[in-house]
Structure 1
């Protein structure tokens, strides 16, 4: 089988039958009354038909069927189970249990989510509590944003994202993101890259609905702090891809690029699905002083209808001295994803510098 046609195991296979046996064995080693056989029968029923998140939910339900009816007693067993599970992602069954069976007990459940997040993440489960009582949940998550543990600090940001992938939207925060401002402000210079990525993604979420609000906040931040500048750069990535002038200005690239493109090549000129394209750009500064350039590229993917839809990719941010030349290269494989299917035809490639298209090439995708 060629590299182009090989596929990795489906993500849902994290919860395969071998993993289910592991969960059952570890739970039974803690709670002797746990019926492993009954758990396996319930959890593995029609397993092949279930998606990743359906499997996760199913496992939590099947654990519930075999644990004590008393919620605090069940939690004590799950606290002991957390460090025994052999996959960080699999530990998400524990906060999922809390979301399913603990919404009646806010304080105990939020304490459990804080504990479980260090083993994987409680970002999905905590959203149920935010949806139930936004004010109460955010008040506790504000305290989490000041915690010594970066996993807990990240949960304060990640769990309250308006548009967290694989979860439901927090519609009240989509409409008005300001209730999370104090949390984000506490984390805007965090030492942990794990936390900073979450803050940047949280803000990038907000730019899809309230871009000016995000720009207002970041303009007031101390961008001379490298951690804060890192967050700002990644938080504004969607706006920069759209050529937003205010975002580009914040990043020091608000002026029109003074450059000459000496060479722009996309090779090979014709490819088949699974092949790679190579993009090469040589440009020279025509400015009398140094300038900051944010360089992206857009591929106009051919749609089933025959039209095209552009997707912008980050390429490079650099400082270019007066008269200086630079060559930038990038390779990219053209293959299908669950979110994008490719169709044959001419794919134009645009070079975007400081938000403006300054060059175009392309390639043909054969049948």
Structure 2
């Protein structure tokens, strides 16, 4: 049996083949472009660099080989943009703006407005927010009304307080109020791409100012399907924590009136890479229909012998009086880049509307 091939590392987006593609396409657009020098600079010590280091080195290599005039360089990159044909690789265009456009605000804003259609400018715009917050945010508020979904998403994604792979915007971590006009403009956006960003933006805020999010989305029209989707995904962290206000906003009926007839994890002992099965059976003890948000939590054993709790979504159901429901889910226990497993007893909780109603577990052997 042939072993499955591992997915290529993300940094290979900027491998020698892709960098050669950059060089050829740019030379075709700008005949004076020194493609050989660009490749020499862009591939210097390449194997030792991570994805973001490669991204930056490529942008620096463009600066060394494009015209020294910033506006002239942008014209070439703007012509190059449609020929890159890769969303993440195209982020190099916005990285160039972040590195060399700080003193050319208007030109840079127009460039990011254009480049984000090919590869998001979410990382680049944050440098402008850090340097001139009010002026940059005013531009982004206008972008929230743009006809292009990529530009609208940039307004939300670029102003997230805690954007992954970027630095935190400390001003917004402490006080998220300035981005309210952006979120209000996009709260029922027709694009799922944009709605995901708005939900993630709000979820960022819940980590530092949960009450601000509850207050804001509490006034939104939950009859609008797009808005309801955003709210549900924005509150995911609070819902996993069993926050009563967050659960109420997504329609949970509060304290669950149920009894757990059965909850078990099988098999009781597994090895890394094997699968566990969770089975639960609950019955309503209420006099009226209940909306229940059902999760489960695994307490992963850490190297030091302590445990780290991770909550997973199981199901959302409506349960009639005296009705019962059976719940089943399986999960392979394997290592990820973000989680390394350790041997020992792993406790598992059944959580309904934020309350732990039953426990079980399994023993992991490596």
Task: Indicate if the aligned counterparts of 1:71 and 1:102 stay in contact, CA closer than 8 A.
Answer: yes
Q: Which runs of 5+ in 2 are unaligned?
A: none
Equivalent position of 1:129 in the other structure = 128
Deviations 1:49-69 (CA, angstroms, capped at 9, x unpaired): 111111111111111111000
1:245/1:254 contact within 8 Å kept = no
Cα separation, 2, equivalents of 1:192 and 1:239: 24
Within the alignment, does 1:63 sit opposite 2:47 as a pair?
Answer: no
C-alpha separation between the residues in 2 aligned to 1:275 and 1:258? 35
2:44 corresponds in structure 1 to 45
How far 1:168 sits from its partner (Å)?
Answer: 0.3
* TM-score, length basis structure 2: 0.97
Stretch of structure 1 that moved more, 129-138 or 319-328: 319-328
Please give the alpha-carbon distance, in whole angstroms, between the structure 2 residues aligned to 1:36 and 1:254.
Answer: 64
Offset at residue 8 of structure 1 (A):
2.0
Q: CA RMSD in A?
A: 1.4
Q: Which residue of 2 aligns with 1:313?
A: 312
Residue by residue over 1:256-295, the C-alpha shift from the partner in whole angstroms, topping out at 9 and shown as x without a partner, is 1112222223222222222222222222222121111011
Q: Hey, what does 2:297 align to over in structure 1? A: 298
Distance 1:277 1:54 in 2: 39
CA displacement 1:53-105 (0-9 Å, x = unmatched): 11111111111111000111100100111110131110000000000000111
| CA–CA distance in structure 2, aligned partners of residues 104 and 271 of structure 1 | 59
Which contiguous aligned blocks of 4+ residues in structure 1 show a shift greater than 3 angstroms?
none
- 1:112-163: CA deviation from partner (whole Å, max 9, x where unpaired): 1111111120100000111111111111111110111111111100000000
Are positions 1:33 and 2:39 aligned together?
Answer: no
Instruction: Give, in angstroms, the shift of residue 332 of structure 1.
Output: 1.9
Q: How far apart are 1:339 and its partner, in Å? A: 2.1
The answer as to whether partners of 1:246 and 1:254 remain within 8 angstroms in 2 is no
Q: Which residue of 2 aligns with 1:322?
A: 321
2:249 maps to what in 1? 250
Q: Is the 8 A contact 2:286 2:321 kept in 1?
A: yes
Q: Note if 1:261 corresponds to 2:260.
A: yes
User: 1:222: which partner in 2?
Assistant: 221
Could you tell me which runs of 5 or more consecutive residues in structure 1 were left unpaired when the two chains were aligned. Answer: none
Once residues 64 and 277 of structure 1 are traced to their aligned partners in structure 2, the CA distance between those partners, rounded to angstroms, is 53
Give the structure 1 partner of residue 76 of structure 2.
77
- Residue range with higher mean Cα deviation, 351-360 or 264-273: 264-273
Is the Cα contact below 8 Å between 2:253 and 2:290 reproduced in 1? no
Q: Is the 8 A contact 1:290 1:322 kept in 2?
A: yes
Instruction: Output the CA distance in 1 between the equivalents of 2:271 and 2:91.
Output: 39
Count of residues in correspondence between the two structures: 366
Indicate conservation of the 8 Å contact 1:263/1:280, yes or no: yes
- Output the CA distance in 1 between the equivalents of 2:31 and 2:273: 51
Match of 1:149 in 2: 148
Structure 2 CA distance for aligned equivalents of residues 119 and 136 of structure 1: 24
Q: Deviations over 1:204-251 (max 9, x none)?
A: 000110011111101111112111111111111101111111111112
Deviation at 1:2, TM superposition (A): 8.0
Describe the SS at the equivalent of 2:232.
Answer: helix
Provide closer, same or farther for how the CA distance between residues 50 and 42 of structure 1 changes in structure 2, counting only shifts above 3 A: same
Partner residue in 2 for 1:111: 110
Counterpart CA distance in 2 for 1:2 and 1:270 is: 29
Change (3 A) 1:6 1:356: farther
